[in-house]
């Protein structure tokens, strides 16, 4: 069952806004992932298998070696995974 209340709705709205913001997809993904982590840690949203898996996948897509720049594949993967996270927010 999805988490109810104003804090949950605010967290969902903020994560969606960050995910859909103009800008580089990897930057947006980092911000949205940080907000999702905060919401889960604070109990604003509940963990779901989809969110756990998508968060892990997104971290892998965003991983960069020191001095290495993320390329287009990371951006495309970030967009794709972030859409899955946004879809899964209603269940969290």
The string of DSSP codes covering 35-89 is HHHHHHHHTSS---HHHHHHHHHHHHHH---TTPPP-HHHHHHHHHHHHHHHHHG
Angle between helical axes of 25-42 and 72-88 (0-180°, round to 10): 30
pLDDT confidence band for 91 (50 / 70 / 90):
confident
Predicted confidence (pLDDT) per residue in 23-78, tens digit: 888 899 999 999 999 999 999 999 999 999 999 988 888 876 445 555 566 778 88
Task: Using a cut of 0.75, tell me whether the model's pTM lies above it.
Answer: yes
Q: Model confidence at 1, in pLDDT bands (50, 70, 90)? A: low
């Amino acid at each position: 069952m999805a988490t109810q209340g104003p804090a949950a709705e605010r967290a969902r709205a903020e994560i969606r806004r960050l995910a859909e913001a103009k800008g580089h997809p990897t930057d947006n993904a980092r911000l949205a992932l940080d907000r999702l982590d905060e919401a889960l840690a604070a109990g604003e949203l509940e963990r779901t298998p989809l969110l756990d898996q998508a968060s892990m996948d997104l971290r892998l897509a965003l991983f960069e070696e020191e001095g290495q720049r993320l390329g287009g594949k990371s951006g495309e993967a970030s967009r794709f995974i972030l859409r899955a996270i946004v879809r899964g927010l209603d269940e969290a």
